[in-house]
Structure 1
Amino acid sequence: MHTSHDERATTKRTLGQYLAGIRLDRKMSLRAVEEATNKQVSNAYLSQIENDKIQQPSPNILHALAELYAISFENLMEMAGYLMGTSGRSDTERHGRVATFAEHNLTADEETEMLQYLQFMRNRKKPGDKT
């Protein structure tokens, strides 16, 4: 029985290997992906991702690829290290986090600031915590 790349377990594959497999499964060239994403994902950048030279592409790039390939954006976010595994979280919790990173109008600088602020919020001292 043939199983498509997006149905296979991705835990042993890198994000780049996974995306390369999906692209090849869809019979798309790097340039075809660039055109299909309206040049949001350049063929050179995708090549670097697929060859593991870039291991944490921006959420906007991952969102564009997820839409094009019709695969789970959340899964790509997990593989890139933006989200923790989803076991134990409800659908509402998972979709809420993904929606934050799916904002189309964020610039790369805004994404960086959001991630830095998130890190700050997670690390700040909570009221009542003792040092």
Structure 2
Amino acid sequence: MGPRPQKQPRRPLDPHPVTTLGPQLRAIRENIGFTLPDMDAICGLQTGYLSQLERGRIQKPSPDVLAKLAETYQVDFTHLMQLAGYKVPPPKPPIKRHTLEGQALDATALTAREEQELFRYLHLILREKG
């Protein structure tokens, strides 16, 4: 994949978004200002395949294709999956944490190892306090 060309949008997005995959993909591509050949060069999806997808002749592309498009267009992958008819689990509600450790974990995205180190440090501080 080569560098993504920087283009200016040609027209504002429609305030009434399209609810089927193909036309929505076409609207996004045209709004960004990419042509079908641009997309072939950027993400390696052939012009003919993208054309069929945008016209609705291909209605359920693979998740790999949708991932490439989501990354290229900088749109939500889950939304494209839903438009293609894939079942997507609903987002999990955030867990309410009432402990000091839980509040610290909610404040930042930590790796499992960082969580363990943070717990050790907090427990050390609490033991020293009393």
Using structure 1 for the length normalisation, give the TM-score. 0.57
Matching residue within 64, 67, 70 for 1:66: 70
Check if 1:51 corresponds to 2:60: no
Check if 1:33 corresponds to 2:42: no
* Residues 1:45 and 1:3: Cα distance change in structure 2 (over 3 Å): same
The answer to whether the 8 Å contact 2:19/2:83 transfers is no
Displacement over 6 Å in runs of 4+: none
The answer to whether the 8 Å contact 1:78/1:85 transfers is no
2: distance between equivalents of 1:34 and 1:46?
9
* Residues 1:78 and 1:85: Cα distance change in structure 2 (over 3 Å): farther
Using structure 2 for the length normalisation, give the TM-score. 0.57
* Residues 1:67 and 1:91: Cα distance change in structure 2 (over 3 Å): farther
Identity level (%): 33
The answer to whether the 8 Å contact 2:36/2:50 transfers is yes
2: distance between equivalents of 1:80 and 1:72?
13
Check if 1:17 corresponds to 2:26: no
Which 5+ residue runs of structure 2 have no aligned equivalent?
Answer: 1-10, 95-130
Rg comparison, structure with higher value? 2
Which 5+ residue runs of structure 1 have no aligned equivalent?
Answer: 93-131
RMSD: 2.3
2: distance between equivalents of 1:3 and 1:43?
24
